[in-house]
C-alpha cells in the first residue's frame, strides 16, 4: 500500500531544487537517485489523477515531461514511445519528483513506462496471446490506496499502416489480444484503466477531416469495430463521458502545418471499467503542451477518479 503522509515543506522545497538543478548536475556528470516520499493528490485517499502521454522519445522530451509533471501533478502516468532500453531511461530526475518508475523499453522504437506516486504491488510487461511478439507495447501495474486497489495497463497499439501490408493484420490481432485481456480482467471487481496511444480514431468527430483519413489504418471500419468491441465489454471512453464535442484532439502531425491549422485527431484514450467509470470526476486534454518548442506530436490526456 502506498505510504500517504502529510506534506513535508522541506521535502517539497528540496524537490523543486533538484528539478531546477538537474541539467547542471548532468553537465558535471553527477547522478543521483533519491527515494523521497511524495504525497498523492488524494492526501486523505479522496482522489487520484491518471494520465497518458506518448512522449515520442523520453530523452528528447525530458524537459517537457518534468515541467508537465509539476504543472499537472498526476499520481499515475502511462508513457508511450519512450524509445530507449530500460537502462537508458532517465529515472533519476523523475524519481526525484516522487515517482516510482517501471519501464518496458526497446531500443529506438516503441517502449512504455509507468510512473506512480503509489508503490506498485505488481507489474506485468507483456500482453498475453502471442509469446513471439517481443515489441515493447504493454505494461500493466497494480497500485493500492487506503480504500482499495486499481489495475492500470499502459498501451501502445500498432499503427497498422500501410494497411495492405502485414502491419495491419498485426494491428488487428493485437487489438483482439487486448480484447481477450480486458474480458479476463473485467471479471474481477478491481477498477481497471486502459490508458495509452490506441492508434484508433473512434468516430468522425475525432478527426478534422474524415474523408482525408478514410483509407488510413487508424480509421478503417475494422479498426473502429474492434475499438467498439472494447466499449461493448462495458468500458467507458473517459473523454467522451465528459464531453461529446468534436475537435477533442490529442495528436497533430509534424507535417503540413497540422498544429497551427488544428488538423488533429484523437487517438490517445483512457478506457475505464464500470468500477472505475463510476468514480470518474473529470477528464481533460492538455493541448497547450503541443505548442511547446520541440514538442511531441501527442499531448497528455488525464482523468480524475474519486477513491472513496
pLDDT tens by residue, 28-78: 332 222 233 345 554 445 699 999 999 999 999 999 999 999 999 999 999
HSE on the CB side for 90, CA within 13 Å? 21
Indicate which CATH number applies to the domain containing 55: 3.60.10.10
Question: According to the model, what pLDDT value does residue 17 have?
Answer: 41
Residue 102 belongs to a domain: yes
197 catalytic? Reply is yes
Residue 117 belongs to a domain: yes
Over residues 203-244, the pLDDT tens digits come to: 999 999 999 999 999 999 999 999 999 999 999 999 999 999
- Residue pair 178/157 in contact (Cβ under 8 Å)? The answer is yes
Residue 197 belongs to a domain: yes
Residue 2 belongs to a domain: no
Over residues 111-169, the pLDDT tens digits come to: 999 999 999 999 999 999 999 999 999 999 999 998 899 999 999 999 999 999 999 99
Residue 3 belongs to a domain: no
Q: How many domains does the chain divide into?
A: 1
237 catalytic? Reply is no
Options 145, 156, 227, 249, the catalytic residue: 156
Higher-confidence position of 103 and 308: 103
> How many CB atoms lie under 10 A from the CB of residue 128?
13
19 catalytic? Reply is no
Residue 47 belongs to a domain: yes
Range with the poorest average pLDDT among 89-93, 144-148, 230-234, 290-294 = 144-148
pLDDT band at 308 (very low <50, low <70, confident <90, very high): confident
Binding residues: 54, 81, 197, 199, 297-298
Q: Looking at residues 295-303, what average pLDDT do you find? A: 99
Options 38, 118, 298, 304, the catalytic residue: 298
Q: What is the model's pTM?
A: 0.87
Binding residues for Mg(2+): 54, 81, 197, 199, 297-298
Residue 4 belongs to a domain: no
Domain that includes residue 232, residue range:
9-306
Residue 284 belongs to a domain: yes
How far lies 200's CA from each of 72, 98, 115, 224, 225, in Å? 25, 32, 24, 7, 10
Options 47, 75, 197, 304, the catalytic residue: 197
CA distance 302 to 254: 23
Amino acid at each position: 500500500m502506498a505510504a500517504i503522509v502529510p506534506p513535508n515543506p522541506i521535502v517539497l522545497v528540496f524537490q523543486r531544487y533538484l528539478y531546477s538543478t538537474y541539467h547542471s548536475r548532468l553537465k558535471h556528470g553527477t547522478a543521483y537517485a533519491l527515494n523521497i516520499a511524495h504525497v498523492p493528490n488524494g492526501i486523505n485517499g479522496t482522489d487520484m489523477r491518471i494520465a497518458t502521454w506518448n512522449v515520442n522519445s523520453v530523452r528528447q522530451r525530458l524537459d517537457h515531461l518534468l515541467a508537465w509533471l509539476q504543472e499537472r501533478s498526476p499520481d499515475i502516468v502511462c508513457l508511450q514511445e519512450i524509445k530507449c532500453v530500460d537502462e537508458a531511461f532517465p529515472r533519476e530526475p523523475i524519481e526525484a519528483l516522487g515517482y516510482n518508475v517501471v519501464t518496458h523499453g526497446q531500443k529506438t522504437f516503441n517502449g512504455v513506462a509507468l510512473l506512480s506516486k503509489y508503490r506498485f504491488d505488481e507489474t506485468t510487461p507483456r500482453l498475453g496471446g502471442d509469446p513471439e511478439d517481443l515489441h515493447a507495447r504493454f505494461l500493466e501495474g497494480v497500485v493500492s490506496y487506503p480504500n482499495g486497489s486499481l489495475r492500470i495497463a499502459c498501451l501502445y497499439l500498432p499503427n497498422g499502416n500501410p494497411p495492405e501490408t502485414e502491419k495491419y493484420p498485426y494491428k488487428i490481432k493485437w487489438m483482439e489480444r487486448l480484447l481477450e485481456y480486458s474480458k479476463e480482467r473485467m471479471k474481477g471487481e478491481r477498477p481497471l484503466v486502459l490508458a495509452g496511444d490506441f492508434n484508433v480514431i473512434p468516430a468522425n468527430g475525432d478527426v478534422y477531416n474524415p474523408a482525408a483519413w478514410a483509407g488510413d489504418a487508424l480509421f478503417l471500419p475494422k479498426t473502429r469495430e474492434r475499438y467498439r468491441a472494447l466499449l461493448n465489454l462495458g468500458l467507458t471512453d473517459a473523454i467522451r463521458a465528459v464531453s461529446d464535442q468534436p475537435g477533442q484532439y490529442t495528436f497533430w502531425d509534424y507535417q503540413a502545418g497540422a498544429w497551427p491549422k488544428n488538423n488533429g485527431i484523437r487517438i490517445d484514450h483512457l478506457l475505464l471499467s464500470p468500477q472505475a467509470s463510476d468514480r470518474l470526476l473529470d477528464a481533460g486534454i492538455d493541448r497547450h503542451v503541443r505548442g511547446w518548442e520541440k514538442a511531441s506530436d501527442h499531448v497528455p490526456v488525464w482523468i480524475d477518479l474519486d477513491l472513496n
